C-alpha cells in the first residue's frame, strides 16, 4: 500500500505555526500518488471544513476563528488511501481605531496658590475607538501657555491607563517659583501612540510669594545688594537703561538653588549669577539666565561648590527699562 503524499507550501510549510490578523487564510500546496490523487480536503478544528481546489497542485480559503486554529489537509487516492498535513494558526483580529481619545473634563484647583503649595489637576478621559486608553501625562508651561510655547514640559512620568473608560483621576504639582503657569494633559490610546490628544484649553494658575519685599535703591552693585530670603519674592524696577539691580543670599556649599525672574510684559530683562567657587573664593560670574525674549521669565539653577554670598544681577537687555513696570525675583532650593 502506497499512501499519497501531501504538503502545505503556502503561506508556510507543513507543521509551521503562524500568527495572523486577517481571515480567511489562503493556503496551498502539492499532492502526489502512484495511482493518482482524487481529492484534497481541509478541516479546521476551531470550526469549518471543505474541499480544496485542484489535486496535485491545490489551494483553499479557510475561515479562521479567534485564537488557535489547527488546519489539517488530507489527500486521498483512488484506492481509498489517505495522508495528512497541517498548519497551526493563531488568529487575532485587528480592529482599525481611527477615533482619538476624548477629554470629558479638565480642571485645576485652586487658581492661585502661595509658593510651596500644590495644585490639583483633575481630568476625565475615555476612548470609543476600541483600542483602549494607553496613558495620560501632566504638562506645564510658564511663558504664555500657547501651543508653540517652548517651555511646555512633562511633569513626572505618564500614568498608565487601560480600557475604554471613562476614567477620572488627578495629578498634583508644586511649581518651583513665583509666577504664572499653565497646565495641560496629553492622552494617547493603544491604536496610535503618536497621536496626542490635549485638553480643550490649557488652564492658567498663579503662584505668589509667602511674603514679599521691595528693592531698596541704591542696589546697583553687588556690594550694595539687597538681601534675598528663600521663598520670598522681591519686586523691583529697572528704571533706566543703565539701571542694574542686585540681590544676594547666603548659601552653603553643595546646595542647589534656583532663581526665578518674572519679567513684565513687553520688556526684555535678563539676569546673571555671581558667587564663590571651591577654586575661586571671590564673587565672580557663574551663570547667565535663559536669555529669553521680552516678557518671558528667566531661570537660573546652580549647585554651589563653596559657602558664601551669591548675588543675582538683574538688567535690561539693550537698554530695556520702565519706571512703572515691576519684576519679581525669587530664590528657592
CA 264 to chain centre: 31
Instruction: Assign a CATH topology to domain 5-91.
Output: Immunoglobulin-like (2.60.40)
Mean pLDDT of 263-277: 95
∠ CA 299-113-287 to the nearest 5 degrees?
10
Distance CA 187, CA 168 (A): 12
Mean pLDDT of 19-33: 92
In order, the DSSP letters of 12-41 are S-TT-EEEESSSSEEEEEEEE-SS-EEEEE
Predicted confidence at residue 162, as pLDDT, reads 86
What are the cell numbers at 33? 500518488
Longest CA–CA span in the chain (Å) reads 114
| More confident of the two residues 69 and 178 | 69
Is residue 97's pLDDT more than 80?
no
Q: CB neighbours (10 Å) of residue 319?
A: 12
> What are the φ/ψ torsions at residue 268 (nearest 5 degrees)?
-105, 95
**Domain coordinates of the chain in residue numbers?**
5-91, 102-208, 211-332
One fold for 5-91 and 211-332: no
Q: What is the dihedral of CA 204, 209, 213, 219, to 10 degrees?
A: -70
Burial class (CB in 10 A: 0-12, 13-18, 19+), 94: exposed
* Residue percentage of the chain with pLDDT more than 90: 73
Q: CB neighbours (10 Å) of residue 248?
A: 23
pLDDT tens profile 206-253: 988 776 788 998 899 999 999 998 888 899 999 999 999 999 999 999
The enclosing H or E element of 328 equals strand 327-332
- What pTM value is reported for the model? 0.54
The number of residues in the chain equals 333
Instruction: Assign a CATH topology to domain 211-332.
Output: Jelly Rolls (2.60.120)
Closest C-alpha to 133, from 187, 95, 186, 189: 189
pLDDT tens profile 189-210: 887 777 788 888 999 999 887 7
**DSSP 3-state of 319:** helix
Closest C-alpha to 274, from 241, 240, 249, 238: 249
What Cα–Cα distance (Å) separates residue 26 from each residue in 58, 63, 80, 131?
11, 9, 27, 27
Q: Which residues of 1-38 are buried (b: 16+ CB within 10 A; e: fewer)?
A: eeebebebeeeeeeeeeeebeeeebebbbbbebeeebe
Evaluate whether 53 touches 59 at the Cβ level (below 8 Å). Answer: yes
pLDDT tens profile 296-323: 999 999 999 999 999 999 999 999 999 9
Q: Does domain 102-208 have CATH number 2.60.40.10?
A: yes
**pLDDT averaged over the chain?**
92
Amino acid at each position: 500500500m502506497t499512501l499519497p503524499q501531501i504538503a502545505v507550501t503556502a503561506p508556510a510549510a507543513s507543521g509551521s505555526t503562524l500568527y495572523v490578523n486577517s481571515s480567511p487564510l489562503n493556503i496551498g500546496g502539492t499532492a502526489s500518488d502512484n495511482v493518482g490523487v482524487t481529492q484534497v480536503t481541509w478541516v479546521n478544528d476551531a470550526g469549518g471544513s471543505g474541499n480544496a481546489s485542484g489535486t496535485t497542485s491545490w489551494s483553499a480559503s479557510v475561515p479562521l476563528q479567534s485564537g488557535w486554529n489547527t488546519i489539517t489537509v488530507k489527500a486521498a487516492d483512488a484506492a481509498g488511501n489517505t495522508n495528512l498535513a497541517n498548519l497551526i494558526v493563531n488568529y487575532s483580529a485587528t480592529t482599525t481605531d481611527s477615533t482619538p481619545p476624548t477629554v470629558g473634563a479638565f480642571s485645576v484647583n485652586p487658581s492661585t496658590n502661595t509658593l510651596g503649595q500644590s495644585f490639583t489637576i483633575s481630568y476625565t478621559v475615555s476612548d470609543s475607538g476600541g483600542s483602549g486608553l494607553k496613558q495620560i501625562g501632566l504638562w506645564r508651561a510658564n511663558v504664555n501657555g500657547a501651543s508653540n510655547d517652548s517651555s511646555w514640559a512633562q511633569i513626572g512620568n505618564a500614568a498608565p491607563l487601560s480600557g475604554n473608560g471613562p476614567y477620572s483621576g488627578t495629578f498634583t504639582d508644586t511649581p518651583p517659583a513665583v509666577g504664572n503657569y499653565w497646565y495641560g494633559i496629553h492622552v494617547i490610546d493603544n491604536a496610535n501612540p503618536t497621536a496626542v490628544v490635549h485638553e480643550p484649553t490649557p488652564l492658567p494658575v498663579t503662584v505668589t510669594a509667602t511674603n514679599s519685599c521691595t528693592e531698596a535703591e541704591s542696589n546697583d552693585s553687588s556690594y550694595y545688594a539687597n538681601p534675598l530670603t528663600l521663598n520670598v519674592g522681591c519686586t523691583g524696577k529697572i528704571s533706566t537703561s543703565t539701571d542694574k539691580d542686585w540681590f544676594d543670599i547666603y548659601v552653603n556649599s553643595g546646595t542647589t538653588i534656583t532663581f526665578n525672574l518674572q519679567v513684565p510684559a513687553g520688556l526684555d530683562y535678563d539676569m546673571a549669577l555671581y558667587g564663590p567657587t571651591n577654586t575661586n573664593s571671590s564673587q565672580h560670574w557663574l551663570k547667565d539666565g535663559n536669555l529669553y525674549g521680552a516678557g518671558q521669565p528667566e531661570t537660573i539653577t546652580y549647585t554651589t561648590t563653596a559657602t558664601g554670598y551669591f548675588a543675582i544681577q538683574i538688567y535690561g537687555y539693550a537698554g530695556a527699562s520702565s519706571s512703572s513696570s515691576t519684576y519679581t525675583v525669587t530664590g528657592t532650593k
